[in-house]
A and B are shown apart, each in its own frame.
Chain A
C-alpha cells in the first residue's frame, strides 16, 4: 500500500464533503473521517488525480460521481460473514419470525446482495420462503444492479464454503447456485422474495414496517451522532418487538436507544425493539 504520493489534509476532506453535498446532494459529513480519508486517497491513486483535479471532475464530469460513490463506500461483503451470527439468528430470531403470517426483512446497506441471499437461504431452510420477503437497500445504484443479478464469481462462492459450514446449515453453499464456467448464479427461487432498491440511510425516511432489520458493518462508517439518527429510523421502521441486527463489532452507543432496544444476543449484537 503506497500512498506516499498522495497527501490530503483534514481541511481538504471537509472541503470535498461540502462540495459533494452542494453539487450532488449526498451528505458524508457524518461519516468517520479516517476511513473516508483512506477511500479518497484510494480514489486519487486509482484515477491518478490531484486534489484539485478531483474537485474539478466531481463538478464537471456527470459520470464521474457514480464511480466516486462506488469507491468511497466500502462494498466488500461476504455470504454468511460471521457464521455464528447466522447460527444465533436461526436459533433466537427465526422461530419468532415464523409466528407471523408474513415477515418483512430489511437488509440496510446490502451492497452486492450477498447478505440478502444468505438470509434467503436461511429462511428457506426454516420453511419460511413463502411467508417472508427481503428488501435490500443501498445508497449505490451500481452495486444494486449486481445484487439483482445474483451472479458471483465461482472463486468467491468457494471462499464462502467455510462460512456456510460453520452456520450448521445442511448441504453445501454451491447447492444454491447454478454454475456455469467460472460464474455462479443464485437459484431463482431464492431471488423471488427479494427486492433491491436505492435508499440513503443519511437522508431517506421510513418506507415500510419490518419484523427484522439487519444493518451489519455499516455503522462502522458512521460517527455516533449519525448512528443515533439511523437508530431512530430503524426504531420507527420496526414493528413492536421487531429485531435489529448490527455487525458483531458494532454496538448501540446511544443512551436513548439503549433503553429502547433489549439485548437478545450480546456477542452477535442482536436487539429487540421494546415500547412502541
Chain B
C-alpha cells in the first residue's frame, strides 16, 4: 500500500456529510513538495459562498485553488471541485466543468470525477472515499479499482456518516479499509 502511495501521481479525495474535519486535517498535513496532484470533491450547497476554499487555502502548505474550467492539472497543487458543477478530466491533462444533471442529488458528484480520472490516469491514481450520507463515489471508486488505481474507504466505524464508505465496501470497490489515523499515517509516508 505504501509503495502504491509512493508511485501515485494523483490523489483523489471524496467526501460528503461528516467528511469536512478529516478533509481539513489532510489538507493541513500534506507537505508543500508532495510532488503529486490532489483533487478534492466535497458535497456542499450552492450559493453559500463557501468558506471551505478560504479555510483550506489558509491552512494548506500546498498551493490550493478552486477549479476553473480548462485549468491544467499541475503537481504540488490541491484542486477543489466547485459547487454546482461536475468536474471532468480530459486526456490532455486539463479539467473541464459540466453543469448537467446532479448524480445522487449531488453536484459536484464524486462518481463523475472518479470515473473520469479512472479512464485517463488508471493506475497512477489513489482515491480515498470518506464519510457521507449517500452512495455517491462508490461506483466511481469501483471504476478506479477496475482501472488499476489504489482505492481506499474510510473505516465505517470512524466515519461520522458511514453510508458512503459502506456502499463502496459493499460494492467491492475498496482495496483497503483504513481507520482515520491510518489514512493520516499513509499520507505522511
Contact = CB atoms under 8 A, between A and B. Distances in A.
Q: Which of A35, A74, A217, A251 has the most CB of B within 10 A?
A: A35
Given A2-B139, A34-B90, A253 B70 contact: yes
Given A1-B139, A38-B88, A249 B97 contact: yes
A74 B89 CA distance: 17
B99 A33 contact: no
Contacts, number: 70
A166 interface: yes
Range, interface on chain B = 20 to 34
B41 to A, nearest CB: 14
Given A2-B139, A34-B88, A34-B90, A249 B98 contact: no
Interface stretch (B21-29, B56-64, B100-108): B100-108
Interface in A20-39: 32-35, 38-39
Contacts of B100: 35, 38-39, 74, 76
Interface in A147-168: 162-163, 166
Interface string B93-132: 0001111110110000101100110000000000000000
Contact of B88 (A35, A76, A250): A35
B165 to A, nearest CB: 18
B85 interface: yes
Given A10-B91, A83-B47, A35 B139 contact: no
Interface string A65-82: 000000000101100010
A81 B68 CA distance: 17
Q: Which of A32, A77, A84, A163 has the most CB of B within 10 A?
A: A32
Contacts of B96: 32, 34-35, 220-221
B88 A32 contact: yes
Interface residues of A, number: 30
Given A1-B103, A220-B96, A249 B90 contact: no
A253 B72 CA distance: 12
Nearest to B67: A249
The B interface, classified by DSSP as helix, strand, loop or mixed, is loop
Contacts of B99: 74, 76-77, 217, 220
A32 B98 CA distance: 10
Contact of A163 (B47, B97, B112): B47
B104 A249 contact: no
Contacts of A224: 70
A219 interface: yes
A1 B69 contact: no
Interface in A82-141: 83-84
Contacts of B88: 32, 34-35, 38
A29 to B, nearest CB: 14
Nearest to A163: B47
A3 interface: yes
A34 B119 CA distance: 10
B15 interface: no
Contact of B69 (A162, A166, A219): A219
Given A4-B139, A83-B47, A220-B85, 7 more contacts: A34-B96, A38-B88, A38-B98, A76-B99, A162-B47, A220-B99, A250-B97
| 6 nearest A-B residue pairs (beta carbon) | A34-B88, A32-B96, A220-B97, A74-B100, A220-B69, A35-B98
23 contacts: A1-B112, A1-B115, A4-B139, A10-B91, A32-B90, A34-B88, A34-B91, A34-B96, A34-B116, A38-B98, A39-B100, A74-B99, A74-B100, A76-B101, A83-B47, A84-B49, A162-B47, A163-B47, A166-B47, A220-B69, A220-B99, A251-B68, A251-B69
Interface of B: 47, 49, 67-70, 82, 84-85, 88-91, 96-101, 103-104, 109, 111-112, 115-116, 139
